Amino acid sequence: MTVKNDKNIIIFEGINTLSVSLSLDCGQAFRWSEKEYGIWHGVAFGKAVDISQEEDKLILKGNFSEDDERIWADYFDLGRDYFSICEKLKSDPHLKVAIEAYPGIRILRQESWEALCSFIISQNNNIPRIKGIVERLCTHFGEDLRNGDFTFPSAEKLALLTVEDLAPIRSGFRAKYIIDAAQKVANGEVNLQKLSSCDIDEAREELIKIKGVGAKVAECTLLYGCGRVDAFPVDVWVRRIMSEMYPDGLPDCTKTVEGIAQQYLFHWRRNVE
DNA sequence: AGCCAGGGTCTGC
DNA sequence: GCAGACCATGGC
């Protein structure tokens, strides 16, 4: 799979069913921007990178250490057979339309704390403003990478802050939820590590212990932050999809990959008309 | 100006 | 259990 891996560049070859731009900009992650045509810049796992793709190559440029190859392969979920999953999903006519309109969306395996915190911020909010709040959260409280970028601040760091400390990020009523989440994660009351492998209903209950985390935010955390592609977040757009297209529930072809189906339907529905 | 945004909490039946 | 007010903020 890897062709090249040195200090400043990693290239994965033979990659199919991946659109970098769609995957990074379909409302699942909030820290990526297209700094010039076809080159996406952002920070994940505390590392700044530039990402592009050519034919079947996924190209990463940055300042790499040994484990970065594994980290980024994992981030883009390269170990999962999206080609076969999409073929199966396309047996449903609506999913066929959505997947053919926006091919190559993958579910990114983000850090669980970042996903949890980001989707707390997302509540009753729109994507451009979510990005702004997350950006200010990072510049004010993240670690300075000395190149203009900042890491996503740890739960431990945020757990020491007060609601007033968060005023500059202008997150509104969500500030108290961010603090509560940070405290419960930092003191171990909520164990994010185990959420990727434990029973999914148990995982949902664990997350809902946090103030400001309901069914939707919990589901997003499991899908984007815990690699649980059977999680199925329902926001206003997905609610529309369900009433318009699936009044009797999801088709059988989505079993075990409901979250992937959700992402294609969500992005398609937001972009029609 | 008013409505909407990847919702959740709290209160009152 | 369930509907409805309310919550901050900004884009349109």
* DSSP one-letter string for A172-194: GGGHHHHHHHHHHHHTTSS-SGG
Residue A6 banded pLDDT, cuts 50, 70, 90: confident
Phi/psi at A29 (5° precision): -130, 150
Residue A1 banded pLDDT, cuts 50, 70, 90: confident
What is the Cα–Cα distance from A146 to A118, expressed in whole angstroms?
23
Nearest residue for C9, CA–C1' = A172
Q: Which of A88, A90, A131, A216 is catalytic?
A: A216
What is the Cα–Cα distance from A143 to A271, expressed in whole angstroms?
35
Residue A5 banded pLDDT, cuts 50, 70, 90: confident
What is the Cα–Cα distance from A272 to A244, expressed in whole angstroms?
14
Strand C: positions under 7 A of a protein C-beta atom: 7-11
Residue A151: predicted pLDDT: 98
Instruction: Give nearest nucleotide to A174 (CA–C1').
Output: C8
Q: How far is the CA of A266 from the C1' of C8 (A)?
A: 26
CB of A47 closer than 8 Å to CB of A59: no
Instruction: Give nearest nucleotide to A132 (CA–C1').
Output: C10
How do residues A131-189 score in pLDDT, each as one tens digit?
Answer: 999 999 999 999 999 999 999 999 999 999 999 999 999 999 999 999 999 999 999 99
Strand B: positions under 7 A of a protein C-beta atom: 4-10
Q: Give me the CATH topology for the region A2-79.
A: TATA-Binding Protein (3.30.310)
Q: How far is the CA of A128 from the C1' of B4 (A)?
A: 13
Residue A90 banded pLDDT, cuts 50, 70, 90: very high
Q: Is A216 a catalytic residue?
A: yes
Under CATH, which architecture does the A112-226 domain have? Orthogonal Bundle (1.10)
What is the Cα–Cα distance from A107 to A233, expressed in whole angstroms?
13
Q: How far is the CA of A51 from the C1' of B9 (A)?
A: 40
Q: How far is the CA of A218 from the C1' of B8 (A)?
A: 12
Residue A4 banded pLDDT, cuts 50, 70, 90: confident
Q: Which residues touch strand C (CB under 7 A)?
A: A 124-126, 128-129, 132, 170-173
Domain boundaries, chain A: 2-79, 112-226
- pLDDT above 70 for A273: no
Instruction: Give nearest nucleotide to A232 (CA–C1').
Output: B6
What mean pLDDT is reported for chain A?
96
Nearest residue for B7, CA–C1' = A123
Instruction: Give nearest nucleotide to A259 (CA–C1').
Output: B6
How do residues A46-87 score in pLDDT, each as one tens digit?
Answer: 999 999 999 999 999 999 999 999 999 999 999 999 999 999
Q: How far is the CA of A272 from the C1' of C6 (A)?
A: 32
